[in-house]
Every structure is written in structure tokens, then in C-alpha cells.
Structure 1
């Protein structure tokens, strides 16, 4: 792995003057971590996150036929898992686990475009592996494609709201010097958006892609996933506009 990354020149991806790959870092501490370790952290973190989302969805539906209770099980597990992952991996990679968050870091100038590309590949690969792992744990076919159609005007808007809110929360935590609380505040936003958005707050292109590969409670059909990802990018644009308005 080390020799492969070196051959691609990715150890020079982050410029020396760049800030630590931010957003969900260790509360402002500047820690030198090799890109290899950052990519491993993003891969593992995103894989575990999707395993939590998909696995808790399967567990919820195994325990009850009540959709509301199953969604609550799914949400609570996701909030707890995401908080732990941010706390653990924040000092290593910034705990993005999300291409939109990484793109936000590019816009901020805290990570290069080339570095973001490697982050994105790690995140998406990890997400797919996480879904397959969850399938295997629950005795399901390892590789499957969801048929769960989720897209509508309402869910599209829900994803815009969920994603723009997530990025605004992250940005304001950083601006106000409260990034050390990210492991509490970011999961709180996601948990609440599970219930107040019609889309149940995917807010993450990598997780959205990963969830294609599990035809279970948390799954999403490929056509719906594409629409959700577009909505998430629109959410990024909305967050930029909102933060610009707040800065004026």
C-alpha cells in the first residue's frame, strides 16, 4: 500500500502550508499524519458507518414490524456510531467519511483537489464494503442491489435540507472554535434530521452509494441514489449561500 501510494505521488498531496484536513478534527490540534493513515482512517470509518446504518436497519426490522420503532433503532445506532467514529478518527483524517464534507474542505482550501479525490475513493470503497459486511453478518446475500425507490420532490428537498444543515453545522463549529464538540453536535443534527426530513437524512454521497448494495430497510435503489446525490450537491451550494449571508 505504501509503495503504491508513493508511486502515485500522493504523499505530496497536502501542501505544507495547508491546514490539517479539517472540519471534524481534534478540536484545533494540528497533528501530522501521513496520507496513507488518513486514507485508511477514511476507508475504515466510512465502512463502519455504513455497516452501522445497514446493520441496525436489518436488526430493527428483525425485532419489530413497526416501521417507526425500526427507524428509531436505526437512528439511535447511527447517532451513537457516528459520534464514536468522529471521536476516534478525527485526529487522524478529520473524520470526513463523506465526499461532500471533503469537497467543502477543498472549497475552504484546507485540502488539495488531488487529496480530495483520494479521500473520495477511500470513502466510497469503504461504504460499499460496509454494506456487504452488514449483509454477511445478518446471513444475507453478500452482494445485492436495492430496489427501494425513495426519490420524490419531497425527499429531494429533504436531502437538500439535511446536507446544507450538516455542512452549516460543521462550518459554524469550526468558525466558533467548537470543533472539539463535533462528535456530539454532528450526530445530533443527523439524528434529528432522521425524523424531520422526509428522506431520513442520507446527507452523504458515499453512504448513499454504499446503501445501494443492500436490499434491506436502509437500502436505496440506484436511480433514487443518483437523485439523492444531486440533492446533496445542491445542499452544498445552499450551505455556501447561507454561510456567505451569515458572514456579511
Structure 2
């Protein structure tokens, strides 16, 4: 009989909308690095920690597979997807195209209410960084960039950005490994917000290019230093989840 995996502190879930709640907890664990690329998602262990049956865990895993966060291996289960350097290059290339245009359009459409919303979202990023909450940092960072796309007022552009959501959150999680001070992640967004508020298209594009370009370069370096074997080794061990 195999020994049970030790509990690591996941809070018990309520009965409502279990699948989405489980998916959110797993997403947080992946983007914060608690579930590493290549790690196996052990359904029984997750279900036991959350105080639920395995069925909603399996459905949540299927949902995350459809979003590109997990991959299914026949007769082996679900594993956290590994993002290759080529994947990163494609994501960042497309992200630059989207966010350059979105930031310029958002500046043109900026209102006192949308300006306040951007500042509020950046404040939420600072708050998450102050708590050193990796999962909330990723979510707040993503929400700041999504809000720019939303303010731009192009529904199709926003849908394209939303299509990158899962991969973007994983990438943003990698960015967190590059900073000793989580507050610095928030501070890097200040020039982008200031440029949008100032309303000069050339400066906006320059700041977006710098903000995303630096992350692209540094995350790309990080991805290339990770051993491909690291992910495959992780497949054969159970990675713990945190609360």
C-alpha cells in the first residue's frame, strides 16, 4: 500500500461551483510555482487536501487542459504543461503586437473613471507584492494589462488577449523569479501607466516595448537555463500545493 501524501494546508472548499474553485486553486499553484512545469497533478492527493471527491478535481484538470495549463497523458494522468523558449517567443511577440496598439487606444479613450481603475489595479498589484503573495501578484499583474486592453474598446482585440490568459499567467509567474523584491514588479508598471496618462503615442509604444521587452529577454534567459530533464523528473514525483 502506497503511503499517503502529507497535507500542505489547502483550505476545504464549499459545495458551490466546485470545479471552478478547484481550477482556480490549481491555477494559483501553477502560476506561483508551487506546481512546477512537468509536475504531476495527483487527483487523489488534491481531493484529499480540499476535502472533496476526485470527480471535480478531474473535471478541473480537464478544464485547465483546455486552457493550455495542463496536458493529459493516457493512463498516467495530468501534468503541468512545460513552456518552451519557442513558446515564450511566440507569446511575447504576439503580446507586443496586442499591447502596443491597446495602450495607444486606451490612452485616446481614457476617462477619469478608467484612469482611476488603472491606478486601483496597480495599487492591487502593490498590495499583493507587499504580502509577497505570488499567486495574487500574477493575477493582479495580468488584470492590469487586461484592463488596458478593455479600455482600448476593441472587443476582438480583448478576446485575442484573453486567449493568451493561461500562458500569460505562467509567464508572469516566471517573471516573479527574477526579482528579489516583489514591489519592483509593481514599480515596473508605473512608466507604462504614466505614458498612457500623458497621451503621447510614441512614448506609450516605447514604454510598452521596454516593459514587455525586458521581461521577454530575461524570462527567455531563465527558460533556457532550465534543464529539459527537470520537467520530466518532476513527472515521477508528487509536487505539493500551498494554500
Same fold at TM > 0.5: no
Q: Going by fraction, where is strand more abundant, 1 or 2? A: 2
Larger radius of gyration: 2
Task: Give the structure-2-normalised TM-score.
Answer: 0.29
